[in-house]
Chains A and B, each alone.
Chain A
Amino acid sequence: MSYVTLSGVSKFYGDVPAVKILDLEIQQGEFFSLLGPSGCGKSTTLRMLAGFVKPTSGDIIINNRDMTHLPPEHRNIGIVFQNYAIFPHLNVFENIAFGLRMRKTANDAIKQKVEAVLEQVGLSGYENRFQRELSGGQQQRVALARVLVIRPEILLLDEPLSALDKKMREEMKYWIKGIQQQTGITTVYVTHDQGEALTMSDRIAVMNEGAILQIGSPSEIYEVPKSRFVGEFIGESNTVTLPLGTEKDGYLGVRIGGVDLMARRAPETPENLGTGTILIRPENMILSDTAGQDATPVKGRIRSETYQGALIRYEIEVDEAVLVAEVHNTPELVTRQSGDDIWFGWHPDSGVILPD
């Protein structure tokens, strides 16, 4: 039995669906991300879990309790908002004590618990500060402490890193994940940033237009996308439509540059397609400057070379298509010119034939 269950949950505003029928199971202690572009329904789903939005249909069960019709204050859920929502009129201590005061905790216990959680988030000594005296990162720590102190059954995080600058975001990403692992709290994380989702999550649900397109571990989502949307939304990818050839050893031939390269079918790709959409990650492109290599049978032409520090990015023309390749920048790497011939290929497992 899973810890959080959403079954047949939907939310319509009039005739407009924010979330179409949604079925979701989250395990205890899991770090689960809802990933998608803005307007995909991820925030609405989170707000339904929190109790701020009433589902149009379906049931929400958390820890064996039916939460569907409970107001937020009876759910024992912790939520951290995008802008942290620190109470401006209360200092850090009272912000964190708020949930405990609502639970009528004794003053001694409040003091002890608040101090312990401040220690945990690294803000001891900040008790008397107010919101405007805290940096974005500190406000985020307060927001998280305020939630952790009530020991919620699940932790909901609504784009908590989007208001921070890039450096802080990187730091907080690992910090939040660390806190989550220490406390073992079941966490639902909403984000539009695929990098955050890949780094932090145990599992990811990719959403678009109010529906879940794919649920899986970060590596499943990244390596075996079930659809073009998922493949293109997560990471950088080449997607080209090519004629398909014959099947061999469970792989399917893809005709490119007059050569058959092997690729695998995504789980829901139908058989007997004439042409197919192939997804290949730039870092999985294998390049060679000489003809006749087994791993790089296709001949193309360099269109551009871009220096990116750790990586060098090439655009390669072949037939009518342009493919992007990225290789690690090493001292042995030769400089290639626009117009140079190049031979490329890929490992059969890294080319994915998508259903659409």
Chain B
Amino acid sequence: MERDIPIFLKIAAVLGFVYLLAPIFVVVLAGFNSSDFLSFPPDGFSLRWIKKFLSSDKYMTSFLFSFRLAFMTMVVATVLGTIAAIFLSRSAFRGKGLLRTFFLSPLVLPGVVVGLSLYAFYLSTGIGLVRTVWGLWIGHILYSTPYVIGTVGAALAVYDVSVEEAARSLGASPWKAFWKVTFPNISSGIQAGSIFAFIVSFGQFEVSLFLSAPNNEPLPIAMYNSLRYKFEPDAAAAGIFAITLVIASVLLTNRLVNLHKMAGGRLK
């Protein structure tokens, strides 16, 4: 099969990868740079900025904060997104299309708009969420949930409702039919959606910019603030850790989904 791909398409694919990966490559090299400034090409190899990042209270605190925030966001977004996707796929409600568009709107709205609107909303209603962890969490959930709705919705679209009805008529309550039959059949979509939610929250910048407090800075904000004042490679070192975490979660998703396929395909 591979031999049939025309050479110009292969070249286009390589150029595409280079375009996508080059900045990451630069950041990684810059993080291992021995120079005093963020520069490229690197002057020499050194772990000094990695060490600086690991020993920096500010970065470690924000890295762990981002991790916790992304995890908590993932939990809530997965539950809400799954429920919403099930409602959208099952309900005969007439305004469903409109509701779906509304639920998915954070995907298309600029993050700045979402961040600013939430900030203005917290401020004008005075509900005590301005620049608090709770307010930030809500913003991240709002921003991540559409990804779960999307992946779970896709899983439900290929899932035949009569399978669940068969379970019902065989004596399963709605609750049991969901957990014993529907859930196992859409779980790969739920897993993929939850990891998406984690990654989106972990890398979120615009919403965090409006909603985070100085003592609770997610990693992207901390990096941004740091680079505003000094052009030091420890930001690139932080980037390396963020990239590693994202790659790890993507590999994990892949493994989960592949495992799922293996479990299914093993008897073929």
Cα A133 to Cα B166 with chains together (Å): 20
Q: Of residues 148 to 178 in B, which have CB atoms within 8 Å of A's CB atoms?
A: 160, 162-163, 165-174, 176-177
> Are A102 and B172 in contact (CB-based, < 8 A)?
yes
> Are A133 and B162 in contact (CB-based, < 8 A)?
no
- Tell which of A73, A75, A77, A78 touches B172, judged by Cβ atoms closer than 8 Å: A73
Assuming A85-B160, A87-B181, is B166 touching A102 (CB within 8 A)? Answer: no
Interface residues on B, range: 20 to 34
> Are A71 and B168 in contact (CB-based, < 8 A)?
yes
* Inter-chain contacts of B177 with A (CB < 8 A): 73
* Inter-chain contacts of A85 with B (CB < 8 A): 160, 162-163, 165-166
- Tell which of B168, B181, B267 touches A72, judged by Cβ atoms closer than 8 Å: B168
> Are B169 and A77 in contact (CB-based, < 8 A)?
yes
Residue B61 lies at the interface, judged by CB distance under 8 Å to chain A: no
Cα A207 to Cα B22 with chains together (Å): 67
Assuming A129-B267, A133-B267, A133-B268, is B165 touching A98 (CB within 8 A)? Answer: no
- Tell which of A82, A87, A130, A133 touches B167, judged by Cβ atoms closer than 8 Å: A87
> Are B169 and A89 in contact (CB-based, < 8 A)?
no
Assuming A103-B171, A130-B267, is B163 touching A72 (CB within 8 A)? Answer: no
* Inter-chain contacts of B162 with A (CB < 8 A): 81-83, 85
Residue A274 lies at the interface, judged by CB distance under 8 Å to chain B: no
> Are B169 and A79 in contact (CB-based, < 8 A)?
yes
Shortest CB–CB separation between residue A49 and chain B, in angstroms? 10
Interface residues on A, range: 20 to 34
> Are A88 and B185 in contact (CB-based, < 8 A)?
yes
Q: Of residues 29 to 47 in B, which have CB atoms within 8 Å of A's CB atoms?
A: none
> Are B166 and A79 in contact (CB-based, < 8 A)?
yes
Cα A275 to Cα B160 with chains together (Å): 52
Mask, A78-107, CB within 8 Å of B = 1, is 110111011111000000001100110000
Q: Of residues 246 to 264 in B, which have CB atoms within 8 Å of A's CB atoms?
A: 264
Cα A132 to Cα B166 with chains together (Å): 18
* Inter-chain contacts of A72 with B (CB < 8 A): 165, 168-169
Assuming A73-B172, A89-B185, A103-B171, is B165 touching A52 (CB within 8 A)? Answer: yes
Cα A73 to Cα B176 with chains together (Å): 11
Cα A307 to Cα B267 with chains together (Å): 49
> Are A73 and B166 in contact (CB-based, < 8 A)?
no
Residue B110 lies at the interface, judged by CB distance under 8 Å to chain A: no
Most chain B CB atoms below 10 A, which of A73, A78, A83: A73
Cα A76 to Cα B173 with chains together (Å): 13
Residue B184 lies at the interface, judged by CB distance under 8 Å to chain A: yes
Assuming A83-B162, A87-B181, is B167 touching A51 (CB within 8 A)? Answer: no
* Inter-chain contacts of A63 with B (CB < 8 A): none
Most chain B CB atoms below 10 A, which of A78, A98, A103, A146: A98
Residue A50 lies at the interface, judged by CB distance under 8 Å to chain B: yes
> Are B267 and A102 in contact (CB-based, < 8 A)?
no
Most chain A CB atoms below 10 A, which of B160, B162, B166, B170: B170
> Are B167 and A128 in contact (CB-based, < 8 A)?
no
* Inter-chain contacts of A81 with B (CB < 8 A): 162, 165-166
* Inter-chain contacts of B180 with A (CB < 8 A): 98
Shortest CB–CB separation between residue B212 and chain A, in angstroms? 42
> Are B169 and A146 in contact (CB-based, < 8 A)?
no
Known A73-B171, A78-B169, A79-B166; 7 more pairs at CB < 8 Å: A73-B168, A73-B170, A73-B177, A79-B165, A83-B162, A89-B185, A143-B166
